[in-house]
């Protein structure tokens, strides 16, 4: 029996855990993979106030140590359902474990969006990757492509430019969504080539990726680019289906909750990228964790 069950141990979940424990509430983090969430894949974080540079991995480690030193428990499991049994929440996982909490914080983040083209799944680990920080070194001195125009794609391209022979940055528009500063850094690198207004339409190679077909959206022209790695960085999608009985989801599947992290279901709070919000960043995930945990502590104190 816990005071607060936190579903997800990314930046929002771990920040919530720190605030919950410091608020005197016994807390559990439930995580399906390893703690850290999306940011663990970011090679270099430059926009967290007070920290000029840190890798996503190191940031996650520090956050986890801070939470676990305060006594937060971490259990592994994929949450399959959350039931409100008269103010006590029963959280069930895929392996039939069950945890009970007086409040629940949903901090499930989002998963990598896939291109949805033929052979994508088959070639994962054979050239197709969703994590430059994890897999980049396998492509040392080779030619690779990054697909996407957000902060992840720009960060990945910068990181890969430092270890690969050549990096093609493929984006479906001619304007980047990610930070201008990173786009400017990429522009001056000799081994980076922008392929704009283009989408990846075909993956080629027998047993591993050897080249990609890229289609120009304006002319319809298709060109084949020889690469041994393709890093897909085209954003995230939420994974909130298991909570549809409990909270409202918007058309894209995000949990409807405002800056106060209240979901409309008493005792259930939503923090970080899993909720409706205008800016999904490390700072806003951490801030949400603090807001949600403080609200959950106040809720429990009122019970
Ligand atoms: P994102 O900001 O949503 O960008 C996704 C990119 O992929 C966009 O450029 C989008 O194009 C493109 N895209 C989407 N669907 C596509 C498709 N089907 N085919 C081709 N291209 C597609 O995602 P992200 O870069 O992963 O970042 C997610 C969030 O984390 C953002 O809020 C980001 O700022 C944040 N983040 C922060 C940091 C940091 O703080 N250091 C680092 C990484 C990420 P359009 O632009 O045309 O829509």
Q: Which domains does the chain have, with CATH numbers?
A: 2-111+236-302 (3.50.50.60), 128-232 (3.50.50.60)
164 is annotated as an active-site residue: no
Instruction: Report the percentage of the chain scoring pLDDT > 90.
Output: 94
Q: What pLDDT is attached to residue 296?
A: 98
Q: What is the pLDDT of residues 30-44, one digit of tens each?
A: 999 899 998 988 888
135 is annotated as an active-site residue: yes
The finding on whether 281 has its CB within 6 A of some atom of ligand 1 is: yes
Ligand 1: which of 111, 132, 147, 152 to mutate, judged by most atoms within 8 Å of the beta carbon?
152
CA of 177 to the centre of ligand 1 (A): 7
Which residue in the list 3, 135, 143, 288 is annotated as catalytic?
A: 135
Ligand 1: which of 49, 148, 232, 236 to mutate, judged by most atoms within 8 Å of the beta carbon?
148
Q: Which residues of 195-222 are buried (b: 16+ CB within 10 A; e: fewer)?
A: bbebbbeebbbeeebebbebbeeeeeee
The angle at the Cα of 47, spanning 231 to 184, to the nearest 5 degrees, equals: 60
For the CA atoms of 131, 132, 135, 140, what is the dihedral angle to 10 degrees?
170
Which residue in the list 131, 261, 274, 297 is annotated as catalytic?
A: 131
Nearest C-alpha neighbor of 106 from the set 8, 184, 22, 215: 8
- 146 and 153 Cβ atoms separated by less than 8 Å: yes
The finding on whether 286 has its CB within 6 A of some atom of ligand 1 is: no
CA of 194 to the centre of ligand 1 (A): 16
pTM to 2 decimal places:
0.85
Return the half-sphere exposure (C-beta side, CA atoms, 13 A cut-off) of residue 108: 22
- 167 and 192 Cβ atoms separated by less than 8 Å: yes
133 has pLDDT over 90: no
CA of 147 to the centre of ligand 1 (A): 10
Q: What is the pLDDT of residues 156-201, one digit of tens each?
A: 999 999 999 999 999 999 999 999 999 999 999 999 999 999 999 9
The angle at the Cα of 166, spanning 157 to 215, to the nearest 5 degrees, equals: 75
131 is annotated as an active-site residue: yes
Alpha carbon nearest to ligand 1 atom 16, residue: 234
Q: What is the pLDDT of residues 285-302, one digit of tens each?
A: 999 999 999 999 999 999
How far apart CA 229 and CA 212 sit, in angstroms, is 9
Integer distance in angstroms from the first to the last C-alpha of the chain?
16
């Amino acid at each position: 029996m816990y005071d607060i069950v936190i579903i997800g141990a990314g930046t929002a979940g771990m920040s919530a855990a720190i605030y919950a424990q410091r608020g005197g509430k016994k807390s559990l983090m439930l995580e399906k993979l390893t703690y850290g969430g999306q940011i663990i894949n970011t090679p270099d974080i430059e926009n967290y106030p007070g920290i000029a540079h840190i890798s996503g991995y190191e940031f996650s480690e520090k956050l986890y140590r801070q939470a676990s030193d305060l006594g937060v428990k971490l259990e592994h499991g994929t949450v399959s359902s959350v039931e409100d049994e008269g103010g006590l929440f029963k959280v069930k996982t895929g392996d039939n474990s069950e945890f009970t909490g007086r409040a629940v914080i949903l901090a499930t983040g989002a998963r990598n969006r896939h291109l949805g083209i033929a052979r994508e799944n088959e070639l994962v680990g054979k050239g197709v990757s969703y994590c430059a920080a994890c897999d980049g070194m396998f492509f040392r001195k080779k030619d690779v492509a990054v697909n996407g125009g957000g902060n992840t794609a720009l960060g990945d391209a910068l990181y890969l430019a430092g270890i690969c022979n050549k990096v093609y940055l493929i984006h479906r528009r001619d304007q980047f969504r990610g930070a201008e500063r990173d786009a400017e850094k990429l522009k001056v690198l000799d081994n980076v080539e922008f392929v704009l207004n283009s989408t990846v339409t075909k993956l080629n190679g027998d047993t591993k990726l050897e080249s990609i077909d890229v289609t120009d959206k304006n002319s319809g022209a298709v060109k084949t680019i020889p690469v041994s790695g393709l890093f897909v960085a085209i954003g995230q999608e939420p994974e909130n289906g298991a909570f549809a009985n409990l909270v409202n989801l918007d058309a894209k599947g995000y949990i409807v909750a405002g800056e106060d992290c209240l979901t409309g279901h008493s005792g259930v709070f939503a923090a970080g990228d899993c909720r409706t919000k205008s800016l999904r960043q490390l700072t806003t995930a951490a801030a949400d964790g603090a807001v949600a945990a403080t609200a959950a502590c106040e809720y429990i104190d009122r019970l």
